[in-house]
């Protein structure tokens, strides 16, 4: 069974035609890190806007200071994920289940990508039976994690250097800065695609309800994640 949904959660899922998709810890982590991620990208982009970059208060460049503060909050947030991830609670088990589902690759993922390519070429194709996450969501999670860790590591060097120039050599910092900038620019297209699918695309907007409220419409889930719905409904049957 996909442990992203516990038996007690499955029993609650049938209310009003909805199905429980994400437990509270998964949603809190997503929104906390997601909001910080967006704010960091926006504040970092002021480096390309001279008028904003020059804004000062008490001889401190406002957006540079804000970027460093947000950066340390993001690093702390990444470290804090370990708490709920290791917690012996229902929410912790659901979070670990989501992580396993996101990192599990199979033939259906290849078939989903093949289906996507065929649809893009307007060729006929039948979608595979997708589990809790499709291949696109798994690749997005992998890209987000890789970029987040790279940005956090390079940003930590720059953040320390912002506070004191006595830790790192100038040449080292000068070498890290372009990598940090490149990773931030690479992060923008997948973020925009993620926001488009969550907020605007009619076929996938329902997913936002799952991350905001924890539940999605059962008919939508059955259309987009049929294998996962079957797992949940089997758990519901055992819970009855």
Is residue 238 very low, low, confident or very high in pLDDT (cuts 50, 70, 90)?
A: low
**What pLDDT is stored for residue 59 in this prediction?**
86
**What pLDDT is stored for residue 239 in this prediction?**
53
Does residue 154 lie within any of the structural domains?
Answer: yes
Does residue 110 lie within any of the structural domains?
Answer: yes
Check residues 63 and 59 and name the one with the higher pLDDT: 63
Give CA–CA dist 141/19, Å, rounded: 22
Does residue 122 lie within any of the structural domains?
Answer: yes
Q: Which residues contact 133 (CB under 8 A, 6 or more apart)?
A: 101, 102, 141, 225
- Whichever domain contains 70, its CATH number is 1.20.950.20
- pLDDT(117) > 60: yes
Residue 52 near residue 46 (C-beta atoms within 8 A):
yes
Does residue 70 lie within any of the structural domains?
Answer: yes
**What pLDDT is stored for residue 16 in this prediction?**
54
Q: Average pLDDT, whole number, for the chain?
A: 90
Does residue 1 lie within any of the structural domains?
Answer: no
- Taking the CB of residue 172, how many other CB atoms lie within 10 A of it? 12
Summarize the confidence of residues 182-187 as an average pLDDT. Answer: 96
- The domain total for the chain is 1
Give CA–CA dist 227/238, Å, rounded: 17
Give CA–CA dist 105/7, Å, rounded: 24
pLDDT tens by residue, 90-99: 999 999 999 9
Give CA–CA dist 134/157, Å, rounded: 35
Does residue 41 lie within any of the structural domains?
Answer: yes
Summarize the confidence of residues 78-103 as an average pLDDT. Answer: 92
- pLDDT(230) > 90: yes
Does residue 2 lie within any of the structural domains?
Answer: no
Does residue 87 lie within any of the structural domains?
Answer: yes
**What pLDDT is stored for residue 237 in this prediction?**
74
Residue range of the domain that includes 125? 7-239
Summarize the confidence of residues 3-22 as an average pLDDT. Answer: 59
- pLDDT(160) > 70: yes
**What pLDDT is stored for residue 51 in this prediction?**
92
- pLDDT(13) > 90: no
Least confident of 8-17, 56-65, 159-168: 8-17
Distances (CA, A) of 189 to 40, 126, 186, 192, 193: 15, 28, 7, 5, 6
Give CA–CA dist 15/29, Å, rounded: 25
């Amino acid at each position: 069974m996909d442990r992203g949904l516990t038996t007690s959660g499955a029993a609650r899922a049938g209310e009003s035609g909805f199905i429980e998709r994400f437990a509270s810890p998964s949603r809190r982590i997503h929104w906390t890190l997601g909001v910080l991620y967006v704010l960091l990208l926006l504040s970092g982009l002021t480096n390309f806007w001279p008028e904003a970059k020059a804004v000062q208060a008490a001889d401190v460049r406002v957006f540079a200071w804000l970027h460093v503060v947000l950066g340390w909050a993001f690093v702390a947030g990444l470290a804090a994920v370990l708490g709920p991830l290791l917690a012996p609670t229902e929410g912790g088990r659901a979070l670990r289940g989501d992580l396993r589902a996101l990192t599990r690759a199979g033939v259906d993922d290849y078939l989903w990508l093949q289906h996507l390519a065929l649809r893009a070429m307007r060729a006929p194709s039948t979608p595979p039976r997708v589990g809790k996450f499709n291949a696109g969501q798994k690749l997005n999670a992998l890209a987000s994690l890789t970029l987040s860790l790279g940005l956090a590591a390079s940003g930590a060097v720059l953040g320390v250097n912002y506070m004191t120039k006595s830790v790192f050599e100038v040449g080292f910092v000068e070498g890290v800065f372009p990598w940090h900038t490149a990773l931030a620019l690479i992060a923008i297209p997948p973020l925009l695609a993620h926001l488009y699918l969550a907020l605007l695309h009619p076929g996938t907007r329902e997913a936002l309800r799952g991350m905001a409220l924890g539940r999605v419409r059962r008919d939508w889930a059955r259309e987009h994640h049929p294998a996962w719905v079957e797992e949940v409904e089997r758990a519901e049957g055992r819970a009855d």
